[in-house]
Amino acid sequence: MHMTTTGFRTAASTAATIATGLLAGSFYVFACGVMPGLARSSDTVFVEVMSDINEAIQNPVFMLSFLGAPVLTAIAAWQLRSAPGRRWMWAALVANVLALLVTATLNIPLNETLGDARPPSEIREEFEDPWVAWNVVRTVLSTVALGCLAWAATARRRG
């Protein structure tokens, strides 16, 4: 059995949609549950838990969605460059890349400050508000990417 060109395009766009959904959901859980829960904790607990989460999240399973979402979306966008819904696919790629850039240039550098040899209250003061704000930005971007991928799939079915 061999995969047709249409089947490969569908597989790539489906994989991109799944990876993007997983990533958007991960960011959403932090925005709606993890960070509001940690906001109620002491400075020491906040810094320790965020440090532990940041170490634990660096694993192959998470990296599949974190890096897979933009890479798979790029593959799908290229494959569907002349198909109905292509503009939605390219919009999804832009949103996914922007979410990756926000994470790499803003959230991750903030994460790295959690290990500083300073009082937890100082670390939290500099970390919490900007990290939460940038997490909301990447949550919105990933969710927009997911919506664009879904809309692209709908357009392809109609087109």
* Count of C-beta atoms within a 10 Å radius of residue 101: 13
**Predicted confidence (pLDDT) at residue 158 exceeds the cutoff of 70:** no
- Name residue 53's amino acid: I
Scanning the structure block, which residue is given the tokens 């890349």?
Answer: 97
Phi and psi for 83 in degrees, rounded to 5?
-90, 160
How many domains is the chain partitioned into structurally?
Answer: 1
**How far is the C-alpha of 106 from the C-alpha of 136, rounded, in Å?**
12
Model pLDDT for residues 91-115, shown as the tens digit of each residue: 999 999 999 999 999 999 999 999 9
Torsion of CA 31, 35, 37, 40, to 10 degrees: -140
> What confidence score (pLDDT) does residue 135 get?
99
> Rounded to whole angstroms, how far apart are CA atoms 15 and 69?
8
Interval 53-80: pLDDT, tens: 999 999 999 999 999 999 999 999 999 8
Domain coverage including residue 17 = 5-158
